[in-house]
Amino acid sequence: MRNQIFSHLLPAILIMAGSTLDAQKKIEGLLFFDDSPVSIEIEDGKIFQITRLDSVPHDFPKTYISPGFIDNQVNGFAGVSFAMGGSDLTEEAIEKATRELWMYGVTTYLPTLTTNSEELLKKNFEVLARTFSNEQLLGSIPGFHLEGPWISPEDGYRGAHPKQFVRPPDWEVFTELNRAASNKILQVTLAPEMEGGLEFISKCSKAGIVVALGHHNAPADVVRAAIDRGAKIATHLGNGAANTINRHRNPFWSQLADDRLMISIICDGFHLLPEEIQTFYKVKGTDRTILTSDVTSYASLEPGTYLTGMGETVELTEEGLLHYPAQKVLYGSASAITKGVGHVMKVTGCSLAQAVQMASTNPAQLYGLNDRGTLEPGKRADLIVFTIDDFRLNIQKTYVKGELVYQSDNK
């Protein structure tokens, strides 16, 4: 069946007939970006070679192979919140969340801590940083995202972040938090109009930390100055803003207009209307858009009502809508990025190749994770095998660093 080396991906590797292939893992399916049947061989946790095939057995429904998804905003998953107080966040809980994310094809993610007390942020970063030496996680956590506390205190722009902990940026505090995080805070989301915000952005850029603009109400000249100083991305564009905004002077236009700025968007079907996703995608294109989930601890739980840590009753519907009935508002996302991959294809008409680029390749590049995000020999074998049914991805197998970590019952 093997007839030809996948030449543009594999310039220097020759097929070694009769070599140790039997000892290697081999995955067959359709390549996500051109539907061609391939066999991918894994060795020592990495992609060894990719070989074109004439056909693959059982290719109906079409079974695709792509790099695993990389989610830059995961607040929690499957009952585990990374913002848990007290001594609630444990290494075991982080392992549980990671294993559940693997079931959805998420092979890399940035645990995200949001606005809170310095004590809690520091403590939870310390717990999270301990997982770097946890071999069971297979390198799925390369670093962290800190969203806040340096965001706008204004209602609406602040979102659900607690006001009492919102404050202007402080490089010393950041340095302390980053130290607790083993210097692995890869991205900070902040409001550039806060006092000292622009100087803070310059310091982050110099230190190689990705600056994201979010939960802000910065005027256009401040957005431009922030980008001049190295801000690279707008966090969950279209969300983290007031419901009523000035039609001319609002943060959306300035962030959409500047080609230097990437955007992340939450494509769970609830946070943005189809026409918002369509417009954002038309403006920024595949190369400057990242799919994110902003997923919370309620993801992957059974539909029903839950009592939050703050004593509020929230409801998770069959459709995956997480809301707070008392105020008729969303209570964060309950869907892994996987749903967003199908949803962005549905509403924009983009290809699977483009959707995977936005959910894997682009975030890998943004954070300098050069060992993942594409299917190429030498890259980590973080691979997912899936079918698509009416824009829903059904993950059949997930490999992380070459290990089969999830296999669906249907396969």
Strands, DSSP E only, in 295-344? 304-307, 313-316, 322-324, 329-330
List the structure tokens of 247: 């039609």
Q: Between residues 142 and 240, which has the closer beta carbon with respect to Zn ion?
A: 240
Q: Between residues 169 and 240, which has the closer beta carbon with respect to Zn ion?
A: 240
Which secondary-structure segment (H or E) carries 225? helix 220-228
Whole-number minimum distance, CB 327 to Zn ion, in Å? 18
Q: Between residues 29 and 240, which has the closer beta carbon with respect to Zn ion?
A: 240
Whole-number minimum distance, CB 159 to Zn ion, in Å? 5
List the structure tokens of 137: 């996680």
**Dihedral pair phi/psi, residue 255, rounded to 5°:** -80, -35
Q: Which stretch binds Zn ion (CB under 5 A): 6-14, 15-23, 195-203, 234-242?
A: 234-242
Q: Does 240 bind Zn ion (CB under 5 A)?
A: yes
- In the chain, the amino acid numbered 196 is G
- d(CA 358, CA 210) in angstroms, rounded, equals 17
- d(CA 212, CA 347) in angstroms, rounded, equals 25
- Name which of 181, 108, 172 is nearest 146 in CA terms: 181
- In the chain, the amino acid numbered 172 is E
Q: Between residues 39 and 333, which has the closer beta carbon with respect to Zn ion?
A: 333
Whole-number minimum distance, CB 147 to Zn ion, in Å? 5
Q: What number of chain residues touch Zn ion (CB under 5 A)?
A: 1
**Residues 6 or more apart in contact with residue 404 via CB below 8 angstroms:** 25, 397, 398
Q: Does 76 bind Zn ion (CB under 5 A)?
A: no
Q: Between residues 293 and 360, which has the closer beta carbon with respect to Zn ion?
A: 293
Q: Between residues 339 and 397, which has the closer beta carbon with respect to Zn ion?
A: 339
Q: Is 30 helix (H, G, I), strand (E, B) or coil?
A: strand
Q: Between residues 70 and 190, which has the closer beta carbon with respect to Zn ion?
A: 190
Whole-number minimum distance, CB 236 to Zn ion, in Å? 5
Q: Which stretch binds Zn ion (CB under 5 A): 92-100, 204-212, 240-248, 395-403?
A: 240-248
Whole-number minimum distance, CB 201 to Zn ion, in Å? 18
Three-state SS annotation for 92-124? HHHHHHHHHHHHCCEEEEEEEEECCCHHHHHHH
Q: Does 332 bind Zn ion (CB under 5 A)?
A: no
Whole-number minimum distance, CB 75 to Zn ion, in Å? 9
Q: Which stretch binds Zn ion (CB under 5 A): 138-146, 235-243, 307-315, 370-378?
A: 235-243
The residue number with the shortest CB distance to Zn ion is: 240
- d(CA 233, CA 292) in angstroms, rounded, equals 12
List the structure tokens of 185: 């805070």
Do 59 and 26 meet the contact criterion of CB atoms below 8 Å apart? no
Q: Which stretch binds Zn ion (CB under 5 A): 14-22, 197-205, 239-247, 343-351?
A: 239-247
Q: Between residues 84 and 137, which has the closer beta carbon with respect to Zn ion?
A: 84
Whole-number minimum distance, CB 98 to Zn ion, in Å? 22
- DSSP of 160-223: TS-GGG-----HHHHHHHHHHTTT-EEEEEE-TTSTTHHHHHHHHHHTTPEEEE-S----HHHH
Q: Does 149 bind Zn ion (CB under 5 A)?
A: no
Whole-number minimum distance, CB 294 to Zn ion, in Å? 6
Contacts with Zn ion, residue ranges (CB under 5 A): 240
